Each structure stands twice: as structure tokens, then as C-alpha cells.
Amino acid sequence: MRDQARVVIIGGGIAGCSALYHLTQEGWSDVMLIERDELTSGTTWHSAAQVTNFGMTQTMVGLKSHSIALYKELRDDPEYPVGYNYGDGGIRLANTQAQMDGYRHFTSMAAGMGVEFEVIDAEECARRHPLISTENLLGGLWDPTDGHIDPAQLCQALARRARLAGAEVNRHTPVTGLTQHPDHSWTVHTEKGDVRAEIVVNAGGYRCNEVGAMMGVQHPVASMEHQYFLTEDIPAIVEAGRRIPLLRCPISDYYSRQEKGGLLLGFYEQDCRTWGMDGIDPRFSNDLCPDDLDRVTDVLEGAFARMPALMETGIREVVNGPITYTIDGAPLVGPIPGKRNAYCIIGLRAGLGEGGGHGWLLAQQIVHGEAQYDTWVIDPRRFTGHATVELTAIKAIEDYRNEFRFHFPHEHRPAGRPMKTTPLTPVLAAEGAEFGTVNGWERVDYIKPAPDFHETLGFRFNEVHDVVAEEVRAIGTGVGLTEVSGFNRFELTGADVHSFLDRMICGTVPKRWGRVGLGYLLNDQGKLKAEATIANIPASHRGPNRVWYGSAAASEYHDMDWLRANLRPDEDVTIRSLTNAQTILVLAGPHARDVLSSAARGDWSKEAFPWLSLREAYIGIAPATVLGVSFSGELAYEIHIPNENLHAAYLALRKAGEAHGLRLFGSRAVESMRMEKGFLHWKADILTEFDPFETGLDRFVKLDKDFIGKEALLKRKEAGPGRKLVSLAIDARHAPARGGASVRTGGKIIGTVSSADWGHRTGLNLAYAFMDPAFAAPGTEVSVDILGEAFAARIIESGPYDPDHSRMRA
């Protein structure tokens, strides 16, 4: 075993083998994999190993497409062929119109990635799958590429190719510790000696938190027991003359695929069980949990009803083994928060089917700093301090019970809530607030018109549409108040704060004390990394001159890592997080100044406190920092309050607002209004796949100064845009477009929707989309896919509501 390597990967399942292989494909051969036992001795060896192209985001579809292409290549390798049943086809069943709507949307989304799905009716489902009944069935989603692969052969093939490229694989080598050095390199301690590594990757499967503990971190990964069984031969399968499709059933919580002349039948029972929460026996390797078929009786009954042939079939073998989950069911692939030169590829619930793509995207991040797709959907930093293993276990149970039930738009499932609250959460709940979650925080979605009001979840406009319309009307004609919980807030102090930010941000950085500005941070490829509000707070009795860096709630760990990684040792800058210490109250509408003036001493006139100003004040008796900024397009103020004073400030604003008809509103109203103003949303419209010129942020770029990513941005500017972000007005009233929907002309896909909503002030069904530049001019007629139909749309100028911004500058 070598005593040094550029990268050491810990874990020899599909995650570790895929990462190792793909690092060599990116040109790094000085890489090593260390496995405590044999390759594939964890979850990988007992995986059902299904390989589907289905995903609920384009990133997931893209990485699965890569997996499928790689697995086909390995299957056809004459020197080491891998057993891969490609193209059996697969059906995801549905018994509600809302599920069918979802399948139609996902079909459009996948088409933008070059993947063809088909929505079929119940009779066609039965025609393609000879065992199923059409009772209580509307139809399904057909994936023609669906299949399954041999887990052990796959991992051995990847390891073999990596070795041929110069990588080293060490089996039967338990890692006993990890030490990080001042230069951020690592020593990996093993029972066979130490290895010095520049970078460490945790690919530890269900033992990932044992590896994490060696780094001093805890990952939000928990394991669930998962059972499947293999049946005896079924005559209808033997006589079919072809392989039958895979089946995934959200109606009865099971899946099946052909296994020789019978079926492999897997269960996602409601009476499910976590595994390994109190530690894992060191001897548990190539091992299984005890069978417990009593737990799956209810699921089995549903499977019998859907596939009556099962009632005449015997069980040949039962498998019960652990599989890993994260808080939202998606894996953790990328940088480990708070650590340098440390990555993970863990929580791979569907590791065999997706693992080729996960290793591919991780290798790109390690070698190049970013992957070719925006990987936020799998980024480990999307969870922050609330992400304990205990919370993960609760969410894992919830996800397990809903394995094949995709999340509907605006669906916020109840497990693990409330996790993060403010002093106003119960107060707003008493006022009728319906909450969603953002990075674990409870945040007001809308105000219910009656205590028994409930939303019908789906992809179409529903009862909440009119509720939001009324909230927007109240803001546009009077004044509204809402709480924005969890907004990311860093305090920067030191002599070099502005020069540091000037290097980080590609545009003008506001330097006058008492002023606010918006800036964008780029990565080394010249693409968009982060969006930040920069607020210069002048010295007062509350503290010295300091700068607040504000960004999206979910970006807390992501942005902190980027700032600290680029802070030079000789720069006098201290960064401190205030994210959990303060909360924002937003006051918006033409009467917002009147309410603020009644609640706070001082002159709040337009002349004394113009747009983009900042002032420390008191709202009633509560200390506050007031920013004159707007995400709604109306006159608005962000009022930042220490959490211990939040309730007092709220009461003062409610009292002051009585004379002006102040109404509460939620984030759904804000989403509608920001679409009308042309304002963008981080990780919906602001993505690492595009640069600021492609995203329409030219005015925020200043090329006469130096900043991170400038050289790469200049090259991209010279080459011209690959895509352009445009605003669309769609001729449809029954439903909005959804992120990922395809934009077409003459049947050809020319763009993809990034976000969309109804504009209640303009009466427009609006969407943003990244388009082929040849079709991006205002006035261009196109069509947008909405739930399986193409609707006429036209490209319009961005921000159709109050385009000269006169209302928010009033």
C-alpha cells in the first residue's frame, strides 16, 4: 500500500468505486480506495439494483442517463462484461389525476435532457405488463430504458478500469482515524499504516457516520431495513417470450422486476424500521437483518390485488438489509460543510441505479471545482445545523413510506416539524398562517381565510390561487407584513472587508456606510456561485462599522464555505454568522412608510431615507436594522430584529398598521410578485451552469476590476452565450408552468423553464426559461409544455410590472 495519494476514498461500494473510476477519467491517477472488507460488502451486495432514468429534477435525470450509458458500455466490454438487463422497460403506476399530471410534467422535463418517457393509460399498462390488474388504475409513466444490473460485477468492473488507469484499491484495510493538517491535507490512519492525502472522500455507505466521526462531523444519513423476496417461477412470465417490465406502485407501496422465471418483489411498508441508530456491529459485513415478513403483510395484500398471480406463487428467498436515506431522500454528493479538502458520496438510497452518475459529478467537483450540472439537489451543504441523525431518521421513515409518491408543488410533509421556529411562529399560526419549510425553518406560505381551509395539492391552480391574489392586492393597494425566517446573515468586520468583497463580487460593491447593494459571486469557471445583499452598517452604540452579507436561507453553509475558502491569510476580515440570531419582518406596500413612521422615531421620508438606504432604529421598543429594499416591487422595508425582540417589534408594527388596514401575507405572494418584477431566485434561476451574461445580470458585472472568475468570464463572453434567460407570458389559465418544463418551437425543444407563477398584478401566466439565444428576442412566439399539452407563449421584456421601478423607489 502506498503511503500517499492525491485522493483517498474510504468505502468500496458503488459510491467509492464510481468515484475512483471517474477521477481517473478526469485525468487523476494518483488516487486510492480503501475498503474495510471486500468490495460491495455493504448495502451494494444485496441491492435490488434497478436502473431507471426517472428523476424529479433535470440534474437527477442527467446523472441517471450517464449511469445508463456507462453501464451499457461496461456490459459490452469484451474483456470484462457486466450483467445488465437494459431496456426491459418500467411502469410507474397512478390512480389519481394529480399523479398523472405529475408524470406528464416529468415527461416534459426529461425531454429537455434528451430522455423520452411516455404517459400511458391503464389498458396500455396491462398490455405491456401481463401480470397486472387495471382495477383502481388510471395509468402510468413508461420508461423504456428501465432495467437492472449485477451489483458485484458493476463495482468490480469500475475498480478494474480504475486500476488500469493507475488507481490503487486496498481491501481488508479498516480505517482507524483521520487527521487534518494546517495545510488542509489529511493523514488516513489504517490498520496497515498511514496514508497522506491531499483530499479525502467519505463513501462509507451505512457506516458513513463512523467515518464522519473521525473528521468531527455528523452527516444527516440514517438507514432503514428494506425487504424484498424472490419468487418461484411464474408461468405467465416463463411463457411471455420476453422480459416483463419493472413495476413501481405508489398505490400499494411495492416494486417488482423479473428475476429469472419469477419476480423480485420489494416492499415499502408503513410499519417500517430504522437500523443501526445505536451503532453497527463491526462484524456486520456481507450480512443481512432477520426476516420480518409480518411487517409487509399490508403491502403484500396490495401487491396480490394488483398482480393476482402472486397468490399462486411460492417464495424462494427473502432478503432484508439496510439502505441509507437523507432528510429529503436525495444523496449527499459534494463538499463536506465546514471542512476543506473533504468530500462525501453518501446517502445513496438508489445507489446502483444512480451511482455511476453520482461518481461522475463528484469527480468533476473534486478536479474542476464544479460539475457540468448544477448539483445543489445533491449538495451536502443544502442542510445546515438542524440536520441531525435523529431528524434524518424521522424523515427517512416518512420518505420510506412514500417511496414512489413524488412531492407535489408546495407540498411540505409533516415529519420532523416544527424543527426551526422563531418567537412569532405560534403567533402567526394563531393568525391563520399556513407554513412551509425553508432549510428547516417554518416560514409563512399564506394566510388561511378560515381555520378549516385546506389546499388540494397538485400541479394546477387550486384554492390558494385566490388567497394569494387577495394578499397581493392588499400589498399593492395598501400595506402588508410578513416574517422571513432563516434568512442567511453574516457579519463581516475588519479593515479589509470591502476590498475582500470587491474581489469576491463581480460588480460594484457599495462602500458608503448606511447604503445597501446587490452583488453576485462567481466561481472559477466564471459562472454564478451566489447572490448577496451587502449592507454597510455604520458604527453606533451597537457596535463598530460592520458589513452584513445576506443571502438565501438555504445558502448558509454553502456561502460560508466559499467566503472562508477565498479569504487570504493576510486579510483583516472576521466572518460571524447571525443567521440564527435575527429574523426579518418585511413591510411592503404604498402605505409602508406611513406604518414605519408610526412605529419608529425619526424621519422616514423619501428624502431622508431613500431606496437602498440602511438605518439602525427602534420599532417600538425593539432594536432594529432597517433596509430600504424590495423583492415585491412595491415600496418595502426589510426590518431585521434580534429574535429576543421579535415579538415586540411585531406588535408595534401591527398596532401602527391598524389605521392603514395592514394585512399579513406569505411567501407565495412574494413569489408571484418577484416574477412580475424580473427578480431571480437562487438555485431556481441563478445556477452554476450559467454566467451572469446568460442570466441577464449584465448590469451587475464590472469588467474594469479584478474578481474571482473574471478571466474565465471574459472567455465565455467572447465565445458568446450558450443560453439566455428570458421571461415568458403563457396563454394558459388552468396551471402554471413548472421548473424543468420544455419550451419548444416547431416541436423542437429550445429551452427549459427555471421558475414560473401567476402574476396577479399583471394578469399574466409568467415563466423564466433558459433559451437557445437564437430564439430569445422579445416578441418571439414559442410554446411551453404544461401537463402534457403545448400552450402558446411569447417572450416579453423582463419585469412587466412597473418596469421603471417607480413604485419601490417612491
Round the average pLDDT of the chain to a whole number and report it: 97
Interatomic CA distance for residues 361 and 347, integer angstroms: 15
pLDDT for res 744: 98
- Name the CA radius of gyration of the chain, rounded: 27
Enumerate the H helices of 443-591 as residue ranges: 464-477, 497-504, 556-565
* Among 35, 49, 36, 41, CA closest to 355: 49
pLDDT for res 4: 97
β-partners of residue 246 are: 90
pLDDT for res 118: 98
Coil, strand or helix at 239: coil
Report the interhelical angle of 351-368 vs 58-75 (nearest 10°): 100
Q: What is the mean pLDDT of residues 244-255?
A: 97
Report the interhelical angle of 351-368 vs 14-25 (nearest 10°): 40
Handedness of CA 113, 116, 121, 125 (dihedral sign): negative
Report the interhelical angle of 464-477 vs 667-677 (nearest 10°): 70
Query: What are the tens digits of pLDDT across the range 267-292?
Result: 999 999 999 999 999 999 999 999 99
Interatomic CA distance for residues 550 and 548, integer angstroms: 6
pLDDT for res 312: 94
Query: What are the tens digits of pLDDT across the range 691-744?
Result: 999 999 999 999 999 999 999 999 999 999 999 999 999 999 999 999 999 999
pLDDT for res 62: 98
Handedness of CA 367, 373, 378, 380 (dihedral sign): positive
All three cell numbers of 739 = 421548473
Where residue 543 falls (left for φ over 0; alpha for ψ -120 to 50; beta otherwise) is left
Phi, psi of 534 (to 5 degrees): -110, 120
Q: What is the mean pLDDT of residues 471-476?
A: 98
Answer whether residue 450 shows pLDDT above 90: yes
Handedness of CA 771, 777, 781, 787 (dihedral sign): positive
Interatomic CA distance for residues 505 and 518, integer angstroms: 9
Answer whether residue 584 shows pLDDT above 90: yes
The beta strands (E) that lie in 268-341 are given as 274-275, 315-325, 332-335
Q: Is this prediction's pTM over 0.95?
A: yes
Q: What is the mean pLDDT of residues 6-23?
A: 98
Answer whether residue 58 shows pLDDT above 90: yes
Query: What are the tens digits of pLDDT across the range 376-405?
Result: 999 999 999 999 999 999 999 999 999 999
Interatomic CA distance for residues 642 and 582, integer angstroms: 4
Interatomic CA distance for residues 690 and 779, integer angstroms: 23
Query: What are the tens digits of pLDDT across the range 176-222?
Result: 999 999 999 999 999 999 999 999 999 999 999 999 999 999 999 99
Interatomic CA distance for residues 323 and 403, integer angstroms: 13
pLDDT for res 798: 97
Answer whether residue 351 shows pLDDT above 90: no
β-partners of residue 433 are: 447
